[in-house]
Structure 1
Amino acid sequence: SDDDLIPYDMSEDKELKTKAPVYIRNCIEVLTGSEDVDKWEATVKALESLVRKNPVATREVSVELAKILLHLEEKTCIEGFVELRQRAQVAVLTTDPIPVAKYLTSQFYSLNYSLRQRMDILDVLVLAAKELSYPKFHGKTKPSDVQKPCLQLPPGSDSSKDWRRIVDERIKSKTRRFAVSHSQVELASGPNEFNSVAGHFFFPLIQHFDRPLTTFDLLGEDHIVLGRLVHTLAILMYLAVNTVAVTAMGKALLEFVWALRFHTDSYVRQGLLSCISSMLLSVPTEHLLEDMTEELLETQSWLEDVVEKDPDGDCRRLALQNLLLMENLKKKLRTVPS
């Protein structure tokens, strides 16, 4: 009888029927105009791979694609949609860094974005910077295999602490007895793909933080996003070691930190102290001590105050860590033969 018949599983047939587009421009058409939900889903799943395989075609429409992805909302209950979208965004940004970074950083301060979208922008910038700064991974390893900076979780989690653990390890290597050999190894790693684009990721984010917008006030109610911005700048600074813009970035970051150093939110203050760590680790020691002498003395005085008076334990620990790092950098410079 009909009841004895085993139903035929058509799910694989459906997948075979709904092929993802093979051209980048077709992806744009599907994502912006298609009513075919299956085709839309197949496109979202295939987009990252397609972008990485077709860099020339991607560069022709990179900013348009970045815009579509930034505004893309889930049409179906697609598993892992947020990650798929993010990975596609990172792929577009690493494929065409300067125009796409320019677009994303400009949108961070634009009107009519949700706080979630602004934080998405920061996450994508960090993940792309991480990928670009390690060329040995870039293009040879699946992006999912690349260790990602831990900035994807919302503040209040241990995400920034995980990132700081990486920085802590590097600080330890810098403050050991034979620190000079460590720094030589770092310099030997040479320039990377982030080298020529670091400023495009960094400077636009730091320029408008003190201008309240109609819907967005970083220094007021939106301090969660400010915290994320500060931690993002710390990571970008950390990744900028060996880049051309590193000293200019360090100076700008120090001014930024100085303007916000008395912020009432501990997550923001922790980020500011992480910025100092990143600056001390990434800017060449001789540039720090020659070009920023006065600023460093003021910073040292502030750090001493934080160690004594800050109510937050993490802030006190980070401040002490920075003071030790500063002391070791001075010693290192004194021991280098002229």
Structure 2
Amino acid sequence: MQMPPQPLADDPPSIGRGSLSITPNVVLNSSVEPHPCVSLVPDKGSDSELDSDDDLIPYDMSEDKELKKTKAPVYIRDCIEVLTGSEDADKWEVTMEILEILIQRNSAAAQEVSVELAKVLLHLEEKTYIEGFVQLRQRALVTITVIDPIPVAQYLTSQFYSLNYSLRQRMDILDVLALAAQELSQPKTAGKSQAPSTQSLCKQILPGNHTSQDWRKVVEERIKNKTRRFAKGPSQAEPACGPNEFSSVAGHFFFPLLQNFDRPLMTFDLLGDDQLVLGRLAHTLAILMFFAVNTTAAAVMGRALLEFVWALRFHTDLYVRQGLLSSVSSALLSIPAERLLGDMMEELLETQCWLADVAEKDPDGDCRSLALHNLLLMENLKKKLETAPSF
């Protein structure tokens, strides 16, 4: 009988299921001292450190503007493509901001696409928010009208009485024509035109009580200039002189606006509900007449304007009546006295009777005052013609 083999001395003892596991006792002596407890209660001195941040003054970032990486167009045709088809908001905004400058720099190229550009701008709607979008669009329209006045004026006046236009677009047409006429009538000095007083003109166009006051100042200034005074003193600087570029194109601005004012359209009735546009039309005609002073077309324009006033003299709207009285002022200031008292004596007498009635019975004080100034201007014109030497 053989004995089972004995385990070698070097072999580790076998550990059975019930045997105990012998693990050497190892003591880890940590050299790191335990951290003391951190107090969550803030010190009394920390309040002063936190309060010290209140003394810092923040930067004023109200005038900061975001840098735009979009490249601006270089050619006017590129601007038309962007405004009609591009969906890039940044590119669209840059184009609107640079358009007026491009028209002024490239007048020859602008004349080639003047009517097309005017059509795009007239129908242009704001795709994204742009600060001053209305002014940018208006300035571009005025600039292209000044660069190429006859074709653009013919297009704008033809669209004023067309269908499918909003009242806002029709009034935009009147504003652009008036502002362009003002710039064209400005004398040129050293190759540059004088800066037009756009704000004063807008006060005359927009509804409100400023209109009669502005025209009263015009009448008083003209009467003052025609009064002879003898006094010693330093001579005043002479104003800049130059040709009136509006004189050759005034008819294209003026007469088309008078053609269909009494013909109602399906969505546009000047003699009906759209009396606000009628008042704006009367003021615009007065402004165009005023800028046509000393031109060959002034007498013909004045006669047509007085007929327009006579047809609407009993209108009940205040703004319309103010526009009609302003039109009379423009005619008296722009037409030579000999033509007024000679060729248009009948129209002048009828207008004088109406002005006397307005000065006495009109419920509005501004209308009465403006009618009195017109009557005074008529008397001064008669005296001037009577005292003028005959040759």
TM-score clears 0.5: yes
What is the deviation of 1:139?
A: 6.5
Percent identity over the alignment is 69
Residue 69 of structure 1 and its aligned partner are, at CA, apart by 0.4
Give the secondary structure class of the aligned counterpart of 1:286: helix
Q: Distance in 2 between matches of 1:105 and 1:76?
A: 29
Q: Does the aligned pair in 1 maintain the 2:212–2:366 contact within 8 Å?
A: no
Cα distance in 2 for partners of 1:189, 1:196 equals 17
The CA deviation at 1:159 is 4.5
Q: CA deviation at 1:141?
A: 5.5
2:251 aligned with 1:199, yes or no?
yes
Whole-angstrom CA distance in 2 between matches of 1:134 and 1:65: 24
TM-fit CA distance, 1:269: 0.7
Residues 1-338 of structure 1 mapped to structure 2, 5 A cutoff: 11-12=66-67, 15=68, 17-136=69-188, 140=192, 145-148=195-198, 149-151=200-202, 155-161=206-212, 163-173=214-224, 176-177=227-228, 189=241, 191-338=243-390
Post-superposition CA distance 1:172-207 (Å, at most 9, x none): 3256346xxxxxx99994631101011111111111
Per-residue deviation, residues 153-177 of structure 1 (Å, max 9, x unmatched): 8854344246425423433325634
Cα 1:186–1:335 change in 2 (3 A) is farther
In 2, are the aligned partners of 1:155 and 1:224 still within 8 Å (CA)? no
Measure how far apart 1:75 and its partner are: 1.1
SS at match of 2:265: coil
Answer whether contact 2:247 2:295 (CA < 8 A) is retained. yes
How many residue pairs align between the two structures? Answer: 320
- For the 8 Å contact 2:187–2:242, the answer to whether it is kept is no
Structure 1 segments of 4+ aligned residues over 6 angstroms from their partners? 185-188
Contact 1:194-1:240 within 8 A present in 2 as well: yes
One-letter amino acid of the structure 1 residue matched with residue 201 of structure 2: C
Q: Unpaired segments of 5 or more residues in structure 2?
A: 1-63, 230-236
Q: Distance in 1 between matches of 2:65 and 2:206?
A: 43
Contact 2:325 2:370 in 1 (8 A): yes
| Alignment check: 8 A CA contact 2:204 2:283 kept | no
| Structure-1 separation of matches of 2:187 and 2:351 | 34
Structure 1 stretches lacking a partner, 5+ long: 1-8, 179-184
Q: In the alignment, what sits opposite 2:3?
A: none
Q: Is the alpha carbon distance of 1:35 and 1:66 closer, same or farther for their aligned partners in structure 2, counting shifts above 3 Å?
A: same
Structure-2 change in CA distance of 1:75 and 1:94 (3 Å):
same
Q: Based on CA coordinates, which of the two structures has the bigger radius of gyration?
A: 2
Give the aligned partner of residue 36 of structure 2. none
Whether the aligned pair in 2 keeps the contact of 1:187 and 1:242 (CA below 8 Å) is no
TM-score (normalised: structure 2): 0.77
Using the TM superposition, give the Cα deviation of residue 152 of structure 1 relative to its aligned residue in structure 2, in angstroms: 6.0
Which 10-residue stretch deviates more, 64-73 or 160-169? 160-169
Q: Is the 8 A contact 2:216 2:373 kept in 1?
A: no
Task: Summarize the Cα distance change of 1:56–1:240 in structure 2 as closer, same or farther, 3 Å threshold.
Answer: same
Judged with a 3 Å threshold, the aligned counterparts in structure 2 of structure 1 residues 266 and 141 are, in CA distance, closer, same or farther, namely same
Query: Which deviates further from its counterpart, 166-175 or 92-101?
Result: 166-175
One-letter identity of the residue aligned with 2:222: I
How many Å apart are 1:19 and its aligned residue? 1.5
Counterparts of 2:187 and 2:264, CA distance in 1: 38
Q: TM-score, normalised by structure 1?
A: 0.89
Q: Specify whether residues 224 and 139 from structure 1 end up closer, same or farther in structure 2 by C-alpha distance, changes over 3 A only.
A: farther
Mark the CA change 1:193 to 1:175 in structure 2 (over 3 Å): closer, same or farther.
closer
Pairwise CA RMSD:
2.5
C-alpha contact 2:362 2:368 (8 A) present in aligned 1:
yes
Q: Which secondary structure state, in structure 2, belongs to the residue aligned with residue 11 of structure 1?
A: coil
Quick check: 1:175–1:325 contact (8 Å CA) kept in 2? no
Q: Distance in 2 between matches of 1:188 and 1:49?
A: 25
Q: Read off the aligned partner of 2:256 and give its amino acid letter.
A: P
Structure 1 154/274 Cα, relative in aligned 2: closer, same or farther at 3 Å? closer
**Mapped partners of 1:259, 1:66: distance in 2:** 32
